[in-house]
């Protein structure tokens, strides 16, 4: 029987992806109000991308609710307004959501969420790469 040994970074990525996916399924109803979990691409320029901008909410916030006025989808400015600003037309825009409800006990902490964000950025096909 042949054994395959994965690198620790791929194990971490796999663990955090599975954990966040499971947490998303469990808490889907309550988190839909705040927005989706994980890295979400909101806008990719049709021409070349000069930069990637990632919106990360704070404690108690959400990937949509933090950036939306009065809960109105048309007022979700990172997706609805920012791509129309001439200064951002060559910028890819993303948001990152995590379960930021600090009132409840969790086995994951901010360090875990930051690792998940970095792994998501690394694995995101729409994020620009440079060889510098």
The pLDDT tens digits for 58-96 are: 988 999 999 999 988 889 999 999 999 999 999 999 999
Q: What distance in Å separates the CA atoms of residue 62 and residue 98, rounded to the nearest whole number?
A: 7
Q: Please tell me the predicted confidence (pLDDT) of residue 131.
A: 53
pLDDT at 51 over 60: yes
pTM over 0.85: no
Helix (H) / strand (E) containing 13: helix 8-26
Strand, helix or coil for residue 17: helix
Q: What is the pLDDT of residues 25-37, one digit of tens each?
A: 444 444 468 999 9
- Token pair for 68: 């939306």
Structure tokens at 73: 């989808």
């Amino acid at each position: 029987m042949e054994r395959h040994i994965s690198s620790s970074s791929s194990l971490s990525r796999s663990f955090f992806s599975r954990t966040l996916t499971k947490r998303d399924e469990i808490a889907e109803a309550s988190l839909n109000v705040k927005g989706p979990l994980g890295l979400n691409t909101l806008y990719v320029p049709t021409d070349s991308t000069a930069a990637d901008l990632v919106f990360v909410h704070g404690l108690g916030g959400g990937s949509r609710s933090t950036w939306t006025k009065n809960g109105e989808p048309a007022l979700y400015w990172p997706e609805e307004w920012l791509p129309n600003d001439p200064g951002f037309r060559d910028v890819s825009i993303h948001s990152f959501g995590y379960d930021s409800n600090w009132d409840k006990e969790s086995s994951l902490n901010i360090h875990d969420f930051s690792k998940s964000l970095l792994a998501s950025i690394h694995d995101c096909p729409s994020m620009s790469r440079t060889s510098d």
